[in-house]
C-alpha cells in the first residue's frame, strides 16, 4: 500500500527530478505539491517565479498545488508558526510523508527532520547523496528542460540568467560552482519533461539585479554585508 506523500515543490530542476523518482516508486502516492511564496511580490521564494507560472507548471504536471504565503521578510518565529499551521493541515488530510529535492546539505536535512518529527511526518529525500554532475546529466537525458531564473552575482553575470540548461552550459560552470547549484549558486524553472502532460509556455522578460543581507555566521557576530543576485523574469 502506498503512503500518502506531499512534495515540497520549488519549481526547479531538482524538485522535478526528485518528483520523477517518487512517481516511479509504488511505495509513495504523491498527492500534493507544496510551495512557499513571497506574498508581497506574489512570487516563489528565492526563485522569483511568478505565481501564475507556478500554477501553470503544476497544472501541467497534474498534481494539486498548495501555496504557503510568507511575508516579505519573515522572522524565523513567523516562518515556523506558518509552517506548523500548514503541516497541521496536511496531517489532518492524512499525509504521513514529506518529500524534498535536497541533495547534500546536511544541516538543512536535519532541520527538516527535526521540524517534522513532532508531527510524526516522515521525510523522504530521493536525491540524497547522489552525485550532482550525474544527476544533472540524467535530468537532461530524461528529456527535462529548465531555464535559469536566478544566479548568485558572485559567480555569474547578467548573461547567465535566461539560459536553458544544456550539457555545454554545465561543463562551462565556474570552478567551485556545484553542477546542480546545490549551494544556492543558481536556481531554475523546469518547464518540460516526462512528468509534464505538455510544456509550459512562457516568454523571457526583464533581467533584474537585487541585493540581500548576508546572514551572520557562527564565526562573526557582525553582518557579513550583502549578497547580489541576478533574476530573469518569466512571463506566462
Give the pLDDT of residue 234: 97
Give the pLDDT of residue 135: 98
Q: Provide the angle, in degrees to the nearest 10, between the axes of the packed helices 132-141 and 13-24.
A: 70
Please name the residues in contact with 87: beta carbons below 8 A apart, sequence gap of 6 or more. 98, 116, 119, 121
Query: Which domains are assigned to the chain?
Result: 3-124 (3.40.50.620), 132-235 (no CATH)
Grid cell for residue 76: 524565523
Residue in 140, 153, 136 with CA at minimum distance from that of residue 192? 140
CA dist., res. 133 & res. 127, Å (int):
12
CA dist., res. 194 & res. 159, Å (int):
28
Give the pLDDT of residue 127: 98
CB 35 within 8 A of CB 61: no
| Three-class SS state of 29 | strand
Give the pLDDT of residue 215: 57
Give the Å distances, CA to CA, from 223 to 32, 89, 151, 215, 216.
Answer: 38, 36, 22, 7, 5
Give the pLDDT of residue 193: 98
173-226: per-residue pLDDT in tens? 999 999 999 999 999 999 999 999 999 999 999 999 999 877 554 444 445 578
Give the pLDDT of residue 219: 44
Give the pLDDT of residue 226: 87
CA dist., res. 67 & res. 54, Å (int):
10
Residue in 208, 226, 195, 217 with CA at minimum distance from that of residue 16? 195
Residue located via cell numbers 512534495: 7
Residue located via cell numbers 516568454: 203
- Pick out the chain residues at pLDDT < 50: 217-222
CA dist., res. 154 & res. 46, Å (int):
16
Grid cell for residue 114: 527535526
Q: What is the CA radius of gyration of the chain?
A: 17
Amino acid at each position: 500500500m502506498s503512503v500518502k506523500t506531499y512534495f515540497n515543490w520549488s519549481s526547479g530542476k531538482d524538485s522535478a527530478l526528485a518528483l520523477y523518482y517518487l512517481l516511479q516508486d509504488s511505495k509513495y502516492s504523491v498527492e500534493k505539491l507544496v510551495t512557499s511564496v513571497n506574498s508581497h511580490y506574489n512570487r516563489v521564494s528565492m526563485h522569483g517565479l511568478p505565481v501564475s507560472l507556478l500554477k501553470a507548471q503544476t497544472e501541467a504536471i497534474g498534481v494539486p498545488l498548495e501555496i504557503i504565503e510568507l511575508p516579505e521578510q519573515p522572522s524565523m518565529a513567523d516562518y515556523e508558526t506558518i509552517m506548523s499551521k500548514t503541516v497541521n493541515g496536511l496531517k489532518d488530510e492524512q499525509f504521513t510523508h514529506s518529500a524534498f529535492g535536497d541533495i547534500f546539505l546536511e544541516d538543512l536535512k536535519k532541520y527538516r527532520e527535526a521540524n517534522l518529527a513532532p508531527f510524526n511526518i516522515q521525510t523522504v529525500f530521493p536525491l540524497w547523496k547522489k552525485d550532482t554532475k550525474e544527476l544533472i546529466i540524467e535530468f537532461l537525458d530524461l528529456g527535462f528542460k529548465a531555464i535559469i531564473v536566478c544566479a548568485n552575482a558572485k559567480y555569474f553575470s547578467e548573461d547567465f540568467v535566461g539560459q536553458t540548461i544544456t550539457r555545454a552550459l554545465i561543463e562551462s560552470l565556474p570552478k567551485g560552482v556545484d553542477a546542480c547549484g546545490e549551494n544556492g549558486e543558481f536556481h531554475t524553472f523546469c518547464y518540460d519533461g516526462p512528468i509534464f502532460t505538455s510544456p509550459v509556455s512562457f516568454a523571457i522578460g526583464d533581467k533584474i539585479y537585487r541585493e540581500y543581507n548576508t546572514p551572520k555566521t557562527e564565526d562573526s557576530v557582525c553582518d557579513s554585508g550583502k549578497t547580489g543576485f541576478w533574476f530573469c523574469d518569466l512571463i506566462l
